[in-house]
Amino acid sequence: MFNMEDSETSGTNAELRVFLIGPRGAGKSATVNTIIGKDVAESTSSLRKESTTKKMNMYLVENQDVVLVDTPALRKSLTKQLKKEFTKSDILAFVIAAQSLQMEDESCIMMFLKDLEYLHSRSFILLTRGSNIVDDNNVFNPESNKELYSLYEAVEKRYVVFENRNKTEKERKLCIDNFLSMSREISSNEEIKIETPRVNDTKLNRKVRIISFAAIPIFLGFIMSSNRFRTMCLGFFNALGRFLTFPFR
């Protein structure tokens, strides 16, 4: 395991890094443990208050040249850290449980849609607890929830069904193969690039307006301090007063 702040992290020259993000209890750490083959990541649901301050940790998948990045529950602070850590060759898996969504799940989805829009093209949905999918054909039906469908559309309908409680080793390997295949498919597509984060136009325009209004009294104070300007103004208003037959004094 490597902490993102450790010096060893920079020496991990893996072909691919996959960030696992999502709400608390979605199965991010459990997914890491399933892929690694042993319990190396502690579930955030067992950390109580510490779960909100848990740092990103990296885990090397042996013989796969892949590093998994386990993250705390999705928060504003994490979106800021992702902007610093995420590179153009990385992949993002949004982990969500295949069950009825809770308020926190929907909140995390909206945060991903709004704050991490520039990463959508490098992302896919990872549906944990895949056995909860009740479709006869074991097909994901995102239309059951508006937020979930928006997430599905944002990542261009890419998803992987993943079960962390596999009954056999064969089932576990199938889940891992599907996960790695999707990650490498996105990574190998040269047409899929990280979009440049857009500047918040509203905030920018607000700042411009504030600066402009602040400059007006400064400008007026400067020109009104000029004797020549005052003389010109008096002459103008006197002429206007005579024209209106109402003398200006």
The answer to whether the beta carbons of residues 128 and 98 sit under 8 Å apart is: yes
> pLDDT at residue 185 above 90?
yes
The residue that leads in pLDDT, 56 or 197, is 56
pLDDT of residue 248: 43
Nearest of 119, 106, 121, 144 to residue 22 by alpha carbon: 106
> pLDDT at residue 246 above 90?
no
DSSP per residue, the chain: -EETTSGGGGG---SEEEEEE-STTSSHHHHHHHHHTS--S--GGGSGGGGGTPPPEEEEETTTTEEEEE--S--HHHHHHHHHH--TT-EEEEEEESSPPPHHHHHHHHHHHHHTGGGGGGEEEEEESGGG---TT----GGGSHHHHHHHHHTTT-EEE--SS-SSHHHHHHHHHHHHHHHHHHHH-TT--PPPPPP-HHHHHHHHHHHHHHHHHHHHHHHHT-HHHHHHHHHHHHHHHHHTTS---
The answer to whether the beta carbons of residues 116 and 79 sit under 8 Å apart is: yes
pLDDT of residue 11: 43
Instruction: Output the CA–CA distances (angstroms, integers) from residue 56 to 6, 59, 179, 249, in the order listed.
Output: 11, 10, 20, 74
Q: What would the two tokens of residue 142 be?
A: 């995102």
pLDDT band at 15 (very low <50, low <70, confident <90, very high): confident
Regarding pTM above 0.85, the answer is no
- Per-residue pLDDT tens digits for 194-236: 555 554 555 545 655 555 555 555 555 555 566 666 677 667 6
Residues 6 or more apart whose CB falls under 8 angstroms from that of 5 comprise 55
d(CA 36, CA 29): 11
The answer to whether the beta carbons of residues 29 and 72 sit under 8 Å apart is: no
> pLDDT at residue 49 above 50?
no
Q: Please state, rounded to an integer, the average pLDDT across all residues of the chain.
A: 78
Per the rule left: phi > 0, alpha: psi between -120 and 50, beta: everything else, 127 is beta
| 2-19 mean pLDDT | 62
pLDDT of residue 108: 94
Q: What would the two tokens of residue 25 be?
A: 């209890």
pLDDT of residue 10: 43
For residues 129-165, one letter each, b for 16 or more C-beta atoms within 10 angstroms of the residue's C-beta and e for the rest, the string is bbeebeeeeeebebeebebbeebbebbeebbbbbbbe
d(CA 200, CA 203): 6
The answer to whether the beta carbons of residues 30 and 7 sit under 8 Å apart is: no
